[in-house]
Amino acid sequence: MAARAEDINREDALQGIGCSRKRKEDPRFVQGKGNYVDDIKLPGMLFADLVRSPYPHARVKSINKEKALALPGVHAVLTAEDLKPLNLHWMPTLAGDVQAVLADEKVHMQYQEVAVVIADDRYIAADAVDLVEVEYEPLPVLVDAHKALDPDAPILREDLQDKDNVGQGPRRHPNHIFTWEVGDKEATTRAFDTAEVTVKEEMYYPRVHPSPLETCGCVASFDKVNEHLTVYITSQAPHVVRTVVTLISGIPESKVRIVSPDIGGGFGNKVGVYPGYVTAIVASIVLGRPVKWVEDRMEHLSTTAWARDYWMTGELAADKDGRVKGLRVNVLADHGAFNSHAQPTKWPAGFFSIVTSSYDIPAAQVKVDGVYTNKSPGGVAYRCSFRVTEAIYLIERMMDVLAQKLGIDKAEIRRRNFVKPEQFPYKTALDWELDSGDYHTALDKVLAAVDYQGLRKEQEEKRAKGELMGIGLVTFTEIVGAGPSKSCDILGVGMFDSAEIRVHPTGSVMARMGTITQGQGHQTTYAQIIASELGLSSDQIQIEEGDTDTAPYGLGTYGSRSTPVGGAATAVAARKIRAKAQKIAAHLLEVDENDVEWDIDRFKVKGVPGQEKTMKEIAWAAYNNVPEGMEMGLEAVDYYDPPNFTYPFGTYLCVVDIDKYTGQTHVRRFYALDDCGTRINPMIIDGQIHGGLNEGFAVAMGQELPYDAEGNLLGNTFMDYFIPTFVETPHWETDYTVTPSPHHPLGAKGVAESPHVGSIPCFTAAIVDAFAHLGVTHMDMPHSAYRVWQKLHELGLDKHS
């Protein structure tokens, strides 16, 4: 037993996979020593601020810079006219469209960038913005996506008028962007024609904003002597930004350095390239001085990437026992003024076709139409993997609608339709191959943990007394880890990711990845992976990301891809090093390579106790005593192109009590069980889940970016836009099962987005369930007290009897 205890000690000392290691990032953050973009101050640095349009649709008749330029401390005022000779007045989006950097004769949305002012400090820049005189000629405004394709709709994008394709397939109207259709139409029609029961529901998924607490910004610094550009930027994908900068500026990638320093939250908002970044870069090139641009909160909420804005119609065909035979979905997607949603290029609706989720649905058909409106551009993956949130919302709502129609319990109807454990790998009707899952176990565990039957009984008693209590249940499957390069790319670059690991002679490690942490704790967890793979303590392993001069090219962190792709690259690179180490160990021990075996942190000669070389000893030997013909050193690189996506899943349950006089919803209980496969750091996983649940709570209960009929954005400050505080936020209970991914080197699937994807329909389900006995099948988000009260009032429930 002593030997065993010693093994356990050795393993624990590594702080590898599976342990709740404290975060390496934290000491600098708790001491105010983080290094965010706005903390960067370069000698001679100037400040940029943007002149923005008050009109959502207008011609720019004239721009007068004189008064602004006359203000002491102002260095330049640039407009589209100034950028034109450089061909920088428009930029490519990640979706095949172009977006105006500064308005070129026309504005297409309120707050659109019209001119940039460069000044000595941010106060002077703000003063000068007010001195720039712009004359506009207002045009008719298109706000309602449903009217975008009307024959007499105002035409928004005159720059595209002659194009019948804007990068995502043929289009049929000047305001049309694409039609995306997948699935077997014939089989689906047959399923509906022969169904014993069908249900249909329309639902709107509001436009919401990720709103990380750090807004977007950059510091651009062009070195005129060496023609070298450095940009510190709030980006979740710095290598992609470098490629975009080269494509639009012509500066070779080797002379462009993009650095994502510490990032104050991203959640999908910081994937794209924004006009503010480009104007700061241009200003730095023109003036030869560093230029900082940092937007304020109102600019952030008004112009940077939001998510959703999907008008969805779902239909299910089923038998009378609730077994689903067919699914049909139609979506009208409002993309705003430019198609700059950040999805893999060939996926105009992202992975929305994961809509069959955890269910064995034989036939399905999906159609999505994307349209332009006079609103800010977006439709990004907000804490989800490319429109998965919308898809799961739709199917989970539809399963409840079907259950209510048939009078079947909402847990039971899911159980009847689940893909069974023996069906994996399971090919869905819309062509995804679910890698692994055990949905029944997850569901049963949650139902037992919360005493589901007891809750239903309590609900019945409450209903008898006229009280409103709702139980929401969601059983979702996500698709993350984009993705296999055969199906996923961004601007033509395959969506692989990378790791480069160097073991130093004394056994410490430097590793760099193509991803970038924004709070996920990569510096902690990647080190744990390497520690377990190489048998070196994670405390000796340094992780660096985000500097394109040093890190290997990668597609970045969003869509829960860091662990599925970057984590896999890290494991594979470490295994390459271990394979070399095995040869060195055999050489040192003077035995054949096949006669040594790996044991936690060393290679041992099989069957000969004591004959062993630790990884530390091997590291030293790698720099002075390697087998003949082997090159010195101990390092490896891996560019990991995943064979498939990973499919984390979960079962969430929410219990709410609704005050029938005020519409106030109290979330009494929220229980979240997640299965993300192999768990690398349980403490961090729980933290990610808490955060995702809270962002889901925000979306479901209060967030929206509404526009009035004139195209004015209502609600672009934290006074109006709902961010839950400590007070509103419910208490979270978490649980897990472990079903490893069969194709990921570690069996890990990714986790940070599941809680967002799964919780939003769960809140809606709970609220609708509170009204289900009154025939209510759906209520659109956000479920603010006022909106819930409107339903109470409509049903006459808010009256004292």
- Residues carrying an active site annotation: 236, 383-384, 753
Pairing of strands 363-371, 426-427: unpaired
Rounded to a whole number of angstroms, the minimum distance from the CB of residue 381 to other proteins is 16
Q: Report the residue number, 519 or 758, with the smaller CB distance to other proteins.
A: 519
d(CA 728, CA 731): 10
Dump strand ranges (E) for 647-801.
Answer: 649-658, 665-675, 733-736
Whether residue 563 contacts residue 749, with contact meaning beta carbons closer than 8 Å, is answered with yes
d(CA 540, CA 545): 17
CB of 596 to other proteins, least distance (A): 39
Task: Between 38 and 735, name the residue whose CB sits nearer to other proteins.
Answer: 38
Segments of 340-479 assigned E as strands: 363-371, 426-427, 433-434, 468-477
Instruction: Provide the edge-to-edge strand list for the sheet that holds 256-259.
Output: 74-79, 113-119, 46-52, 291-294, 217-223, 228-233, 256-259
Give me the residue label for tokens 């768990």. Answer: 679
Residue 726 makes CB contacts below 8 A (sequence gap 6+) with none
Query: For other proteins, which is the closer residue by CB, 25 or 500?
Result: 25
Cα 199 from Cα 317, distance rounded (Å): 7
Which tokens go with 597? 């075996």
Closest distance to other proteins from the beta carbon of 719 (Å): 7
Residue nearer to other proteins on the CB measure, 212 or 470: 212
Cα end-to-end span (Å), the chain: 72
Q: What is the Cβ-side half-sphere exposure of residue 713, based on CA atoms within 13 angstroms?
A: 32
Q: Of the two residues 211 and 436, which places its CB atom closer to other proteins in the complex?
A: 211
We find the least distance from the C-beta atom of residue 786 to other proteins, in angstroms, to be 20
Helix axis angle, 568-589 relative to 522-534, nearest 10°? 30
Strand ranges (DSSP E) for 348-398? 363-371
Q: How far is the CB of 160 from other proteins (least distance, A)?
A: 35
**Cβ distance to other proteins smaller for residue 229 or 693:** 693
Nearest to 641 by CA among 436, 800, 457, 487: 487
Q: Is 256 helix (H, G, I), strand (E, B) or coil?
A: strand
Of 20 and 506, nearer to other proteins (C-beta) is: 20
Shortest Cβ 321–other proteins spacing (Å): 39
Distance in Å, CB of 759 to other proteins, minimum? 10
Q: What share of the chain is helix, strand, coil (3-state, %, to 5)?
A: 30, 25, 40
Nearest to other proteins of 38, 458 (CB atom): 38
Residue 348 CB-density burial (10 A; 0-12 exposed, 13-18 middle, 19+ buried): buried
Task: List strands edge to edge, sheet with 635-640.
Answer: 541-545, 509-513, 497-503, 635-640
Q: Which is nearer to other proteins, 99 or 694 (CB)?
A: 694
Which region, left, alpha or beta, applies to residue 100 given φ > 0 means left and ψ of -120 to 50 means alpha?
beta
Q: How many Å apart are CA 276 and CA 115, to the nearest integer? A: 10
Binding site for other proteins (CB under 8 A): 22-23, 25-34, 36, 38-39, 41, 122-123, 211-215, 262-265, 267, 294, 296-297, 518-521, 683-684, 686-695, 717-719, 723, 725-727, 729, 731-732
How many whole angstroms separate alpha carbon 546 and alpha carbon 549?
9
Q: How far is the CB of 81 from other proteins (least distance, A)?
A: 31
Q: What is the smallest separation between the CB atom of 739 and other proteins, expressed in angstroms?
A: 24
Are the C-beta atoms of residues 735 and 445 closer than 8 Å to each other? yes
Closer residue to other proteins, CB minimum distance, 27 or 250? 27
CB closer to other proteins out of 439 and 697: 697
Tell me how far, at minimum, the Cβ of 13 lies from other proteins, in Å.
20
User: What is the per-residue burial (b if ≥16 Cβ within 10 Å, else e) of 100-132?
Assistant: bbbbbebbbbbbbbbbbbbbeebebbebbbebb
Q: Minimal distance in Å, beta carbon 682 to other proteins? A: 10
* 112, 118, 157 from 99: Cα distances, Å: 11, 22, 10
Task: Write the secondary structure of 442-456 as one string of H (helix), E (strand) and C (coil).
Answer: HHHHHHHHHCHHHHH
